[in-house]
Amino acid sequence: MTDVAPTTPVSASPTDAGRRPARPPQPQRVLQVRRTEQLTPHLVRVVAHGEAVAGIPSTPHTDRYAKMLFAPAGSLLRPPFDLAALRATRGPAELPSQRTYTVRRVDHAWNEVWIDFVVHGTTGVAGPWAAAARPGDDVVISGIGSGYAPDPAASSHLFAGDESAVPAIAAALESLPADARGLALIEVDGPADELPLVAPSGVGITWVHRGGAAAGASTALVDALAALRAPTGDTQAFVHGERGAMKSLRPLLLDTWGIPRARLSLSAYWAFGRAEDAFQAEKREPVGQIFPA
């Protein structure tokens, strides 16, 4: 997931009328950077390790997301963070920022967690941090959730998304049985942003290029999906990325193609022009909902 829109792949809210109750704080797992890898010009992998990885449960889900905490640049704060005490004594600019990222892999044998970051220069909080991360730097994960796993019984699979969805799509492709069939359609800026993915021979991988357009301001992914023939049989679909694109794709996937809601994982990882705090808050409003209430 990206942490902000390129122009700029979550604190709980108090209980209000019509809103969900605040979630209890999640325990913080403090890890350290073991290494980083520049996967593409805009994708950096941070491999973190530590004994706390042992407490992360195993799961068949391939779309695993972590809440991460980042101290302000130059801050002397060290994790774990007492967020309640910090909020009572410091201003917003001095508090750790929370961002949501997809976990590419949890390797219990090596006590490692892999997280891939979309980086757009100095924009955002997490991207610049990942680009500058060095071995030994702290990595703070405050919670890990999940929900989607490819069904090996499906007759075909459809995966689609932008860079923010690459970690989840890559993990899903690796988990498919050898006889799986389907298609992965992935939007990136250009050829240099493509990376090798492991998939069964019956699952094609097509890269869609924005050609220099800003992520979130392009219709490349929507246009590419709309140009496809409707899938047949029992198709399971995983389609994640920028909120506007996901809203545009909902009627195609549900109404035109007729993919049952139960077979469709359609969600926004981020929203163009929105930092994470605003994006998460808007999830409870009509503008932020992919499926009408």
Task: State the sign of the Cα–Cα–Cα–Cα dihedral 25, 31, 32, 37.
Answer: negative
Based on the fold, state whether residues 225 and 284 are members of the same structural domain.
yes
Could you say which of 102, 126, 145 is where a domain stops? 145
Neighbour tally for 142: CB within 10 Å? 21
pLDDT for position 14: 28
Based on the fold, state whether residues 45 and 119 are members of the same structural domain.
yes
- DSSP 8-state assignment for residue 286: G
- Return mean pLDDT, the chain: 89
Based on the fold, state whether residues 207 and 170 are members of the same structural domain.
yes
Q: How many domains does the chain divide into?
A: 2
CATH of the domain at 61: 2.40.30.10
Higher pLDDT, 243 or 13: 243
For residue range 48-73, what is the model confidence (pLDDT) as tens digits? 999 999 999 999 999 999 999 999 98
For residue range 218-236, what is the model confidence (pLDDT) as tens digits? 999 999 999 999 999 999 9
The per-residue DSSP string of 145-161 comes to: EE-----TT-SEEEEEE
Domain assignment present for 151: no
> Are the C-beta atoms of residues 38 and 137 closer than 8 Å to each other?
no
Could you say which of 88, 117, 145 is where a domain stops? 145
Pairing verdict, β 64-70 and 43-49? unpaired
| Confidence band of 98 (pLDDT split at 50, 70, 90) | very high
Domain assignment present for 186: yes
> Are the C-beta atoms of residues 28 and 141 closer than 8 Å to each other?
yes
Whether residue 271 has pLDDT greater than 80: yes
pLDDT for position 228: 97
Whether residue 25 has pLDDT greater than 80: no
| Confidence band of 76 (pLDDT split at 50, 70, 90) | very high
End-to-end CA distance of the chain: 25
Question: Residue 58's closest CA among 1, 102, 109?
Answer: 109
The per-residue DSSP string of 97-129 comes to: EEEEEEEEEEETTTTEEEEEEE--TT-SSHHHH
Could you say which of 103, 121, 145 is where a domain stops? 145
Domain assignment present for 150: no
Q: What domain range is 60 assigned to?
A: 28-145
CATH of the domain at 248: 3.40.50.80
> Are the C-beta atoms of residues 253 and 259 closer than 8 Å to each other?
yes
Based on the fold, state whether residues 115 and 136 are members of the same structural domain.
yes
Domain assignment present for 74: yes
